[in-house]
């Protein structure tokens, strides 16, 4: 019987064939995958941060600052889906709401005159020979001072010309 001795001290670890036929140990291959995953993770973090920063800048560029349509030196007309239009100054634009101050709105006198004739009550909002009356917000029963309008309820906003009939009527009412 023949004895065979195996020297375990000098044996080498098995290796795997890597890219290009090179023999690379298993641990180097795992390190390579870990590096790729780390690089992808860093890229995702940077992209997420850039997206968040751009969204923040977009939201904070509203309210008359650079990049906003609203001209804070003028009055605006804010149109709602129910047909109501409010006139005033947009002083703040946020993600969900638009703040309107110095608010006015129009009332159709034809409907008010018909109601006055039926009830016999006089209404301060009516003016003879005029289709519409301009009313300042705040004269209502609940006495509001300003408005926060849900952005989802705004169809569009227009900057009003300083020499428009409506802006002149607002200036006359303020005197």
* Residue 96's CATH number: 2.30.30
Q: Which pTM value belongs to this model?
A: 0.52
**Model confidence pLDDT, tens digit, residues 54-84:** 777 666 554 444 446 788 889 999 999 999 9
Mean pLDDT of 18-44: 72
Does residue 71 lie within any of the structural domains?
no
Same domain, 110 and 143: yes
Same domain, 98 and 124: yes
Does residue 13 lie within any of the structural domains?
no
Mean of the per-residue pLDDT values for the chain? Answer: 76
Query: At residue 121, does pLDDT exceed 60?
Result: no
pLDDT for 44: 92
Mean pLDDT of 93-119: 75
Same domain, 25 and 107: no
Mean pLDDT of 134-156: 87
pLDDT for 149: 92
Same domain, 145 and 80: yes
In sequence order, what E strands does the chain have?
16-17, 23-24, 76-79, 85-93, 97-108, 132-136, 147-150, 156-159
Same domain, 97 and 40: no
As for how many domains the chain has, the answer is 2
- The Cβ of residue 86 has, within 10 Å, a number of other Cβ atoms equal to 19
Same domain, 167 and 139: yes
**Alpha carbon 18 to its chain's center:** 52
C-alpha distances in angstroms, 9 versus 3, 12, 15? Answer: 18, 9, 17
Q: Of 11, 33, 60, at which residue does a domain stop?
A: 60
Answer whether 109's CB lies under 8 Å from 130's CB.
Answer: yes
């Amino acid at each position: 019987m023949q004895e065979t001795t195996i020297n375990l001290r000098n044996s080498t670890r098995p290796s795997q064939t890597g890219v290009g036929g090179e023999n690379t140990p298993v641990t180097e291959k795992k390190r390579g995958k870990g590096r790729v995953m780390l690089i992808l993770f860093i890229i995702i973090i940077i992209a997420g941060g850039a997206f968040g920063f751009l969204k923040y800048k977009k939201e904070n560029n509203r309210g008359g600052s650079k990049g906003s349509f609203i001209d804070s030196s003028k009055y605006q007309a804010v149109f709602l889906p129910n047909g109501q239009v409010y006139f005033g100054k947009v002083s703040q634009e946020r993600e969900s709401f638009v703040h309107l101050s110095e608010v006015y709105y129009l009332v159709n006198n034809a409907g008010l005159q018909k109601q006055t004739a039926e009830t016999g009550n006089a209404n301060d909002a009516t003016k003879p020979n005029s289709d519409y009356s301009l009313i300042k917000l705040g004269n209502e029963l609940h006495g509001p001072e300003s408005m926060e309008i849900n952005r989802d309820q705004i169809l569009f906003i227009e900057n009003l010309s300083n020499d428009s009939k409506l802006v002149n009527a607002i200036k006359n009412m303020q005197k």
